Amino acid sequence: MTLRIGHGFDVHRFGTGDYLMIGGVRIPFAHGFVAHSDGDVLLHAISDALLGACALGDIGQHFPDTDPAWAGADSRELLRQVVELIIARGYRVGNLDATLIAQLPKMSPYIETMITHIAEDLQVSRTAVNVKATTTEGLGFTGRGEGVAAEAVVLLQAGEGHGN
């Protein structure tokens, strides 16, 4: 069986607004994200991990932040487009593990819904998806409450006679 691994990392800073989109969940908050799209840092890291696993660059190349087409874009839609690229190359997601790095907001009430969304968009069962969160104990830009970072690692499996 052909296996490929990919890693993604993204950061969005806080700006004006009263909610954050993370994992396709609208989380009420004292700030919004500064971004061209909806700023869904978790879905961006996952999209980059998928593209990385297939040596397809990154989401900035596929959905440039200079293109008005992606202004305010729903990052679940971007993720689904990336998944179609992966499937077209003969791969499917084996499993995904992701970490949100943020002092605030508290992610735990939202994580199960994030997993539901991600599993739907990746076309896998929920048991193939893990999302977790950590603070940085007050250290660094996340610890100072300046934004949120996300990391994702994905394993892809090729179907019989597929994958290159």
Ligand X SMILES: C[C@@]1(CO)OP(=O)(O)OP(=O)(O)OC[C@H]1O
Ligand Y SMILES: Nc1ccn([C@@H]2O[C@H](COP(=O)(O)O)[C@@H](O)[C@H]2O)c(=O)n1
Question: DSSP states of 77-99 as a string?
Answer: HHHHHHHHHHHHTTEEEEEEEEE
63 binds, among ligand Y, ligand X, none (CB under 5 to 8 A by kind): ligand X
133 binds, among ligand Y, ligand X, none (CB under 5 to 8 A by kind): ligand Y
Q: Which residues of 32-63 are buried (b: 16+ CB within 10 A; e: fewer)?
A: bbebbbbbbbbbbbbbbbbbbbbebebbeebb
Q: Which residue matches tokens 């004006």?
A: 16
65 binds, among ligand Y, ligand X, none (CB under 5 to 8 A by kind): ligand X
Q: Which of 13, 19, 56, 60 binds ligand X (CB under 6 A)?
A: 60
Q: Using CB under 6 A, which of the segments 56-64, 98-106, 136-144, 148-156 binds ligand X?
A: 56-64
The binding site for ligand Y (CB under 6 A) comprises 102, 106-108, 132-135
**Closer by beta carbon to ligand X, 65 or else 146:** 65
Total residues binding ligand X (CB under 6 A): 13
Pair 22, 40: CB distance under 8 Å: yes
